[in-house]
Structure 1
């Protein structure tokens, strides 16, 4: 890829779990993947938050971020994102202030508004009472920003007295806060607060142009970010041949088709299981629609498509979701297809 047109590359990891694989093995594979991304020069590596999904082990981003920071030396690590309706703002601020102290200058706090699961799990996550009501999302984002500052925040008590609160007692710096979204709402809020913005293209390709336009045109400069800053996520499978890329993409495509059609979910199939499984008209149509929005290619084609993708949306960075499936017989504590995707894209 031409260095003048190549976007910076980052990684979003959902910690996929395949058939016969334990959560421990899936996490081991992801931690090996971030070590590789660090060596290859990727800009940042984020962990998602999802709950009660058989094929996804990324339910606790701060835990994975801490483990990843301890195994790397250069790459930025963070959440993509913490789903704020599930958490008290002070807890989020304390966790990420602590992470910043452990890995100074390398922590990103990506914040999302969605629950990351279904209504039953959302209710369980809030069983001790409402923590971050969706309607109060803008205020809670601002609370987190204030709590992580060196001077902290001031709370006014019912008595009229004030009370100082800090996420950590002696902060040198704060993590970089990003707003994540796939709608006009998050784009407008990020613009209003002067925060960088990430559009979740990997699961919501529609509406990206309008969201970015609203963000850039409505942007209110902040001290930390005088100019708007954004990037997009993109599902990616890159292999040495097109046939191999297509084969490695099939397990995740089939899993997403089940999710979008409301069918029961399970661990990710292996490539061979996915190829042997019967198809149907609905799944085939969903897979075709998704395939058109994903990056499934050989290295040269992928490089050209990435450059065009970044140019189309005016982004200098693309966050890849490496979704290459595994083959029968490959180690359960490794993820060769995802590793190869990063190696080929790094050149």
Structure 2
């Protein structure tokens, strides 16, 4: 049996406000909880017209308040944008709000363009990407019940705790799509998630490195990993292909460095196909090959095969189903439908 989880970028489509996009994601998190999904994570991206998931910790708090059993977390916090102490304090607070349900997924990429990265780091309250391994270790120590101890070169010690009396701590996961993150997760004895929804390139090598180099830790005795993948499920293949098109066009715009827009409606994306170049058509076809798009039955079968192929028992789906123009802007019917069909509910 495959366990399913969800990764959400809080998509913003044409005509939709940020408030409506967040409301639709909160409803989706509640549905995932009801359907028995294992975890619900929020990504961190900045200054993108089609993405409202800029502050994972805030979204996690809201989702935790609207759910009962599902784990909620970050997929992930982009650590170079934040001071390790702030991350530890935020997630220790979230763990206090929803004990035993918080995941802290950590990534090394900035999650934005150079200008926004500069703005994020103007205050100086961010971390040095070159010290990423040390800062991951610092966060784990600060969130623990024992806390961390700073030792001064002049002598003396100073204790640091993310929260005064922690009785449980968030689960830390390392995220990545490169050899670096896989090897670091193995070295630290942490669970690892390969971000397959980006492109899928290097998947087999990263998993092999992680599993072959894994060193048991106090929190994890054996390698633990799962994969992400973009998914659209609909009652018919025709509808699924139509709902996949808006997000596929966003991917091609990113690859071609074209101006980004809110997520198109299905109708807008279909109309735009009349003027796409051969290069764009080729990119769309390439994106489509790496996605799982189809009916509930075919999607479940493909996800089961994908999990077996890579030796994992959990798949984190990114429900990328777009919307038709007449659908309610404060909800996300296509994404909800995808989760229902995956869960066979």
Question: Which bin holds the TM-score, normalised by the shorter protein?
Answer: over 0.9
2:148 is aligned, of 129, 144, 153, to: 153
Counterpart-to-counterpart distance in 2, 1:260 and 1:24: 28
> 3-state DSSP class of the match of 2:286?
helix
Task: Describe the superposition over 1:52-87 as per-residue Cα deviations: whole angstroms up to 9, x where unpaired.
Answer: 000000000000000000000000000000000000
**Structure 2 residue aligned with 1:194:** 189
Partner of 1:302: 299
The CA RMSD over aligned residues, in Å, is 0.7
Contact preservation (8 Å) 2:233, 2:294: yes
Runs (4+) off by over 4 Å: none
Q: How does 1:116-265 map to 2 (within 5 A)?
A: 116-129=111-124, 131-265=126-260
Mapping 1:69-80, distance limit 5 Å: 69-80=64-75
- The corresponding residue for 2:340 is 343
Deviations 1:103-156 (A, max 9, x none): 000000000000000111111100012621110000000000000000100001
Q: Equivalences for 1:103-122 in 2 at 5 Å?
A: 103-122=98-117
Q: Which residue of 2 aligns with 1:3?
A: none
Q: 1:48 aligns with which of 39, 43, 50?
A: 43
Q: Deviations over 1:310-342 (max 9, x none)?
A: 011101000000000000111110000000000
TM-score (norm 2): 0.98
Where does the alignment leave 5 or more consecutive residues of structure 1 unmatched? 1-5
Partner of 1:292: 289
- After superposition, the C-alpha distances for 1:279-308 in whole angstroms (9 at most, x for unaligned) are 211111111001000000111111110111
**Does the Cα contact within 8 Å between 2:92 and 2:169 map onto a contact in 1?**
yes
Equivalents in 1 of 2:191, 2:265: separation in Å?
37
Q: CA deviation at 1:206?
A: 0.6
Query: Could you state the TM-score of these two structures normalised by the residue count of structure 1?
Result: 0.98
Structure 2's unaligned 5+ residue stretches are none
Q: What is residue 315 of structure 2 aligned with on the other side? A: 318
SS at match of 1:78: strand
In the other structure, the counterpart of 1:84 is 79
| Farther off after superposition, 250-259 or 155-164 | 155-164
Distance 2:174 2:338 in 1: 27
